A and B are shown apart, each in its own frame.
Chain A
């Protein structure tokens, strides 16, 4: 008999941890197309699902995979796909459909060097803007950035919870380094897991208005086959889900789809603060970069420099308020990311007029602590 939650200690790679996080969260539909460095997630779930009653489909392309994730989500299943940058590019249209029809789903991007085919086996953080702005139109999404194999598990569970709570696609932005590295993973007892399920309608079918929300701004979600006979479309629609492309409907709908995330940003955003209470130089980093940054900050402190680290766990919605507040207390900010300048723009915007030094990294290897330490030294008053 297959166990759903593999409670205990494991020594595994990030992709494996992500797959088990999905299983623990209750995901029972996975569709994907193989792509380095995310393929192992598919392989693990292809192996696990049959004995759990889960459905695994390897699609002909990422477009089909994402479309089927939506079909499964509306059928009542928790559904996920995993890919890398080129696959996200293909999935963007259906991700927009997920935002528009408010389909809970988790999309894992194990990032690699880009643009285009790029460096298939090289880690990077070059897709952080893509998931936020790659869809056409005005959208808000949630994106989480794990820094360890343990977080590949924990944040996958959290990603499902957030997608169910807010009826929005949630991205897990990992990278080839974390996806493929081996570390200890502790999977908790079943009753220690916090699992969130989507709100279902409390009214009979004849009274159900599929896209009408209360003050939470998140409509309860019926599933196909529940008897609600609801209609969903990617066209701008009214509260019945029927196409309504009037100016009023567009204004109302687009605002609600964004506001349900924006106005709940405080509940959604998570950061990890290390030694920030009395720091002069704040280092901002996420994902694997934050590991090097943590070492650099500790070394800085040993050398008498008042450095601190703000590790971003949610990249989107961007934790503006946290940065604004810290900006008032620090002399300078160092942003390190494995790209040529993406999230640093958000940091600059939020901490203005505090000076920001940007440390790019291109080419698969994370920053070394020494590089970050050097930047902190130069920034120190």
Chain B
């Protein structure tokens, strides 16, 4: 059974530092058009299939805004 990587962003915690976008080895993230309440432009997952669950984004995010789970696809 295929696994789906799911990256969850808690928008209210994001401060827009851009580390996830810059440092993801597979360039999974991009800037979105969405802003949170504080006016921060949020990132979004551009290509979930390219995520390898390396977890770097969740650890480089200084704000605990990203978490990662692995789910069964189907």
Asked whether the complex places CB atoms of A and B closer than 8 A, the reply is no
B contact set with A: CB distance below 8 Å: none
